[in-house]
Amino acid sequence: MSVNADLRRERAAATFQAELLTHILDGGPERTRRRKEIEALVLNDPDFQHEDLNFLSRSQRYEQAIRKSSLMVMKLREYGIADPEEIYWFKSFVHRGRPEPLDLHLGMFLPTLLTQATPEQQDRFFMPAWNLEIIGTYAQTEMGHGTHLRGLETTATYDPSTQEFILNSPTVTSIKWWPGGLGKTSNHAIVLAQLYTQGQCKGLHAFIVPIRQLGTHEPLPGITVGDIGPKFGYDEMDNGYLKMDNFRIPRENMLMKYAQVEPDGTYVKPVSDKLTYGTMVFIRSLIVGDSARSLSRACTIAIRYSAVRHQSELKAGEPEPQILDYQTQQYKLFPLLATAYAFHFVGAYIKDTYHRISGDISEGDLSELPELHALTAGLKAFTSWTANAGIEECRMACGGHGYSRCSGIPDIYVTFTPSCTYEGENTVMMLQTARFLMKSYTQVTSGQQVTGMVSYLNDLSRQRIQPQHVAARTVTVRINDPTSLVEAYKSRAARLVESAAKNLQAELNHRRSKEDAWNRTSVDLVRASEAHCHYVIVKLFTAKLAEVSDAAVRAVLTDLCLLYALFGIGRNAGDFLQAGILTSAQITQVNQHVKELLAVIRPNAVALVDSFDFHDVHLGSVLGRYDGNVYENMFEWAKKSPLNKTQVHESFHKHLKPMQAKL
């Protein structure tokens, strides 16, 4: 089939080479080549073909996911793919961006064994887990507690007479609830439980717990395990429950790389409680990348479809225009496109920073960990909230057809939206970032210097020497210059951090307890964290521009960077006005410039989503097809609906016909 004429025209009109931008997103032409090579291994493999998952029941979708996951593990070994990033690519091509039942085995169980088990424990558990004799999950969340880990109620009580831990779920709220792969797939779990030894509670520790008999897969005595039922999405995943009744495991099943329990029950505490932060930081950095990818997919679908779809009249008697020509459609979609690029560069930055700091951590240097922990918590929340709302905006921008599963956007949405909750509920994450910001602010006010992304707070102490208030200092903002806009965002962050800190102090002065004062200021604290994250994103996007050597690509990325920064100012105009960073006249200019940028970006819109380089199979959308042949394929897709297997549905004879006969 030929490519739709509108899309052909759009691609010919682009001012840059899409391929060059793809190389930047991938991290170089060699990485693009390798990604496509791995993609081809999956796409050309008949074992990974299957019918549209939208037409399958939940049980069938779970079975397909298990079938593909089992094949995937064997083929990864066969092809010798061992690099974590390449495994991630292979996995996402196999499962087309959807979750799968081995996610927690590969993403949490194995890494936790590597980072928290002793060499002896690794000898016992790692190879069987690597070869999938042991299939594990990570059982932390309970019915009654999620993000608030200290509230978890599962207990592990040490019995020195048998050298065993006795695991119990003492209340209904202590039942482990939600871990992926727990319901039907896993035969082991890393269980987080409150450790009791010698009559004292020593807090949360991790234990390797067998839950099903190897070979028969039947649950072990004392274990109640199953699937928690249908959810908003994640049909492929057997999120499960686990209840333990006096279930005994050997002492050696407690993960003891850091904390230990000796045979007589003596507790040896870890050197630093921050060492287990590593995995958390890593997973949160992945969510930032995932926010970028999920939003990119939704933008690709909505922008391509908007170039193919013609509707209404702009001028009487003329042909119907592409809906992408309407300024309102551009205003919905182009800022989201700019956001997807911004988040992509931020995700890459965090990943690189994590790898750089990991080396320091393994050598015992934990100095940069608090900031990285605070930054990933905040950015995880900021990017997942924004992407989540953006995906839904893309769906609505596709009109009625966006509501059909064939658009692919409902699937992207229900698969992505839980990331606002898992690995740390977003509001709680923002408050973690706020704790770091308040601590940094206190350091600055007591005369110390702070480093890293919060170094802008140092300016506050310098301004104290002059009598004027921080907000009154004038920033000359040039709205066509990304570097100048970074300064504007920096001033806004400083203003909101200072304002939250002063409000917190005012609550404390009212003789409120620390906790009460914190709660009464928490709306301001979240806003301060959001402003800090927004500044970091604008700063990193701007810094990326200088690294781009191709002038045409740099020009189009500069347009996107300006749009991202100016659109954000327009949306938060009150902050910039209140702090005296911008005048009312400048805000009017900002809004005008945003509209001008929409027109500038319009000719490159399709090429910009082509640069994300999603294969049609991975995109999973009739509306977002690369060739733009939407309508023919929508009709073909609908014909395959299970309801169309027979011309007359059995319900006609069962219910409608008898009713017609009686009336």
Q: Is it the case that residue 467 has pLDDT exceeding 90?
A: no
Residue (of 442, 390, 450) closest to 417 by Cα position: 390
pLDDT bin (cut points 50, 70, 90) of residue 314 is confident
H/E element, 164:
strand 164-168
Catalytic residue among 423, 487, 498, 530: 423
pLDDT tens digits, 200-233:
999 999 999 999 999 999 999 999 999 999 999 9
CA distance linking residue 56 with residue 430, whole number of Å: 38
CB 262 within 8 A of CB 202: no
CA angle 353, 359, 364 (to 5 degrees): 120
Share of the chain above pLDDT 70, in %: 96
Tokens for 473, please give them. Answer: 């200092």
Please give the pLDDT value at position 222: 98
Please give the pLDDT value at position 465: 44
Tokens for 133, please give them. Answer: 């004799």
CA angle 418, 411, 69 (to 5 degrees): 80
465, 469, 472, 478 alpha-carbon torsion, rounded to 10°? 60
The mean of the pLDDT values for the chain is: 94
**Which contacts (CB < 8 Å, 24+ apart) does range 320-323 have?**
322/6
Tell me, rounded to whole angstroms, the distance of Cα 295 from its chain centroid.
Answer: 10
Q: Is it the case that residue 242 has pLDDT exceeding 90?
A: yes
Strands 240-244 and 176-177: what pairing? antiparallel
Tell me, rounded to whole angstroms, the distance of Cα 487 from its chain centroid.
Answer: 28
CB 516 within 8 A of CB 506: no
What type of residue is 593? H
Q: Which of 282-286, 420-424, 501-505, 512-516 is the most confident on average? A: 501-505
Please give the pLDDT value at position 475: 62
63 is catalytic: no
Buried b (16+ CB within 10 A) or exposed e, 433-466: bbebbbebbebbeeeeebeebbebbbebbebeee
Q: Is it the case that residue 463 has pLDDT exceeding 80?
A: no
User: Model-level pTM greater than 0.75?
Assistant: yes
CA distance linking residue 601 with residue 603, whole number of Å: 6
pLDDT bin (cut points 50, 70, 90) of residue 273 is low
CA distance linking residue 106 with residue 258, whole number of Å: 22
Which residues have a Cβ under 8 Å from the Cβ of 74 and sit 6 or more positions away? none
CB 429 within 8 A of CB 525: no
| Choice among 116-120, 277-281, 283-287 with the minimum mean pLDDT | 277-281
Please give the pLDDT value at position 315: 86
